[in-house]
Structure 1
C-alpha cells in the first residue's frame, strides 16, 4: 500500500493561500439597524432560517468610506448600548477574490 505524502512546499503554498486570502480592514461606520434572533429549541418549528441553538444579537452598520452594509454579531451588552445613527469603529476581513466579509467586529 502506497503512502500519500504531500510535499512540504504544497502544504506551505496552501497555508499562504488560506492565510493570505483575506485583507484586514477597519473604519468608521454608522449603525443603521439592530436585529435579534432567538435561539431555536430542539423539536421546535423553524420560524427564522437564521436561528441556531444560541441567541444572536446582530448590528447592521454602513461603512462611511465605501457605503458598504455589514452585519456584525455583537454581544448582548454591546447590542443594548447601541442606537441607530451611532458612530462605531468596525474591523473586518474581506476576501481578496470574492470581496466577501468575514469576521466583522465592533471595536
Structure 2
C-alpha cells in the first residue's frame, strides 16, 4: 500500500487492517494539514521572495558596476536595486505582520 495512504489512514482512524499505526506528526508545524498551510507554506513563500529580492539586488549592483560609463544602463541598474529593496522591505513587513497575527491568535 502507498505510504501516503497509510499516513492518511493513520491520521484518521489510528489503525489499518488490525495494525496499529502511529500518526505522522511534524513537531515544527504541529502535524496537521491546516497548520502546515498556515505556517509552512507562507514561511516558505516569504523566504523564497526574500531570496529573489536579494538576488535582484545583487544583479542590479553588478549591472551598475559593469555599466559605469553608460547613463541609461546605470539608471536601469539603480531602478532594479531600488525595486528589489522595496520588495525586500515588503517581504520583511509581511513576515512581521504574519507573525504578529499568529501571536495574536495564539498559534505562533
Q: One fold, TM greater than 0.5?
A: no
* TM-score (norm. length: structure 2): 0.27
Q: Name the structure with the higher strand share.
A: 1
Larger Rg, first or second structure (1 or 2): 2
Q: Which has the bigger relative contact order, CA under 8 A and spacing at least 6?
A: 1
Q: Name the structure with the higher helix share.
A: 2
